[in-house]
Amino acid sequence: MKKAFTMLELVMVIVIVGIISMMIAPNFKGDNLRKAADQVVSHIRYTQHLAMMDNKFDNNKPLWFKGRWVIRFVKDINNGTTNCNGISSPNVWTYMIYSNKNFACPGGICDNNPNLDEFAKNPLNPNQILTGGYSKLVCADNNYNSPDKQSMKTMRLADEYGVTNVVFGGGCRSTTMFISFDNIGRPFNSFPKYNPYEVSPAGYPRLIKSRCTITLSNSDDNITIAVEPETGYTHIL
């Protein structure tokens, strides 16, 4: 005689599985802070990749190192100016990836407001550039009817993921809020003024010597990204 489940037993199993599923379902809700961190890690690694593939060394240009690829975080889109139909977007955390083409950098300071042709392209969509909108030439939000609509809303961490604060620590400098890489992938925390490996006047080594941390926060929690010295290996702690 073959043994089998009765219809009642099958129904009971389905009910129990349904109850268990309802109990654990909340644990599978999207974690926006983790999503933001995963995206930032991916973009830091992409910045390093660009730097290693695009060696900026040029013996005919003494300040060639100022053209290294950079990932920069800023809080005030458009740098306090109005843009995109007169709309200003202060206190919105965003970031961008670019390479300065103006090696002269007047006064030893490179332009922190990149031109359109200085931004990296989105490898998944070449019509987009890797910025959340921090530029006088790029709209702060794709929905503002910008004539170019090239910026990426996902890089506006505050709007897309609810990030309320970004803090640089460790080997990174909170005053510059960026990381650049040389052609062998080593991370830097600021631009040298006169030679590629100088120490800043404040005594900080521009080449990152200790673990750099980037902490993303929202109203409930925080998550920390680490960029290791020398290798530039980027991961979530």
CA distance 236 to 37: 7
6 in a domain, yes or no?
no
Whether the pLDDT of residue 195 is over 70: the answer is no
Neighbouring-strand partners of residue 161 = none
199 part of a folded domain: yes
Average pLDDT, the chain: 75
**pLDDT tens digits for range 41-80:** 999 999 999 999 988 887 777 777 778 899 999 876 544 4
Radius of gyration of the chain (CA): 23
Region of 96 on the Ramachandran plot (φ > 0 left; ψ -120 to 50 alpha; else beta)? beta
Inside any domain, residue 91 = yes
The pLDDT assigned to 126 comes to 83
Q: pLDDT tier at 134 (50, 70, 90 boundaries)?
A: low
Residue 148 has pLDDT above 70, yes or no: no
What pLDDT, in 10s, does the model give residues 78-108? 444 444 444 445 567 889 899 887 655 555 4
Is a pLDDT exceeding 50 seen at residue 13? Answer: yes
pLDDT of 216? 96
Domain count along the chain: 1
Q: Tell me, yes or no, whether 142 lies in a domain.
A: yes
For 172-194, the pLDDT digits (tens) are 888 788 899 988 999 988 766 66
Looking at the predicted structure, is the pLDDT value of residue 21 above 80?
A: no
Q: Which residues form the domain of 223? A: 31-236
Enter the tokens of residue 234: 């980027």
- Residue 24: the pLDDT is 53
Query: Does some domain include residue 150?
Result: yes
> Which of 2-6, 117-121, 182-186, 232-236 shows the lowest mean pLDDT across its residues?
2-6
**Phi, psi dihedral angles at 5 (to 5 degrees):** -75, 145
The verdict on residue 120 lying in a domain is yes
Indicate whether 10 belongs to any domain. Answer: no
**Stretch 103-131: mean pLDDT, rounded?**
72
The CA distance from 103 to 100, in Å, is 7
Query: Given this model, what pLDDT does residue 90 score?
Result: 56
- Confidence band for 112, pLDDT divided at 50, 70 and 90: low
